[in-house]
């Protein structure tokens, strides 16, 4: 049995920032909607403070947190690996890092053929 290739990962700097958010807020989830108000911004929310819809897909974990994406947005990203990072700037108004002077970002790259054959299944 082969090990699945992750669809999403996180940088060390972002892990350290997430640790601080967990210490302050408890369990977290991440969501990339591709929707209205904040566009396709990555939202970091308290685990029980965000209600997932029937079109939200679980695509993997980043640093002890589940990462979800709306199925419409996933159609654009299904062939790419996302690396979640943190940088200076204004965060999404709904995300827990808002007001910190930092925001979560994502960098993407296409999967190679071997990776495509072993991708973590979306749920």
Q: What percent of the chain has pLDDT over 70?
A: 93
The CA distance from 51 to 49, in Å, is 7
Domain assignment of residue 3, yes or no: no
**Domain coverage including residue 74:** 8-116
The domain total for the chain is 1
Q: Which residue has the higher pLDDT, 98 or 85?
A: 85
What b/e readout covers 2-23, taking b as 16+ CB neighbours within 10 angstroms? eeebbbbbbbeebeebbeebbe
Return the CATH number at 62.
2.60.300
Tell whether 2 is covered by a domain. no
> Tell me: the pLDDT tens digits for 9-51?
999 999 999 999 999 999 999 998 776 555 568 899 999 988 8
Q: Distance (Å, rounded) from C-alpha 28 to C-alpha 64? A: 8
- Whether residue 105 lies inside any domain: the answer is yes
Give the percent of the chain with pLDDT over 90.
Answer: 72
Instruction: Give the separation between CA 34 and CA 17, rounded to whole angstroms.
Output: 23
70 inside domain: yes
Predicted pLDDT of residue 91: 79
**Alpha carbon distance 112, 28 (integer Å):** 30
pLDDT for 25 equals: 95
């Amino acid at each position: 049995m082969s090990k699945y290739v992750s669809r999403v990962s996180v940088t060390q700097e972002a892990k350290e920032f997430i640790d601080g958010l967990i210490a302050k807020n408890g369990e977290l989830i991440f969501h990339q909607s591709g929707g209205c108000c904040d566009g396709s911004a990555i939202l970091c929310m308290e685990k029980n403070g965000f209600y997932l819809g029937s079109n939200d897909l679980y695509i993997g974990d980043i640093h002890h947190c589940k990462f979800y994406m709306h199925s419409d947005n996933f159609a654009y990203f299904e062939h790419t690996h996302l690396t979640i990072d943190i940088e200076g700037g204004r965060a999404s108004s709904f995300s827990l890092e808002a007001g910190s002077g930092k925001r979560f970002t994502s960098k993407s790259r296409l999967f190679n053929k071997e990776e495509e054959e072993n991708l973590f299944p979306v749920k």
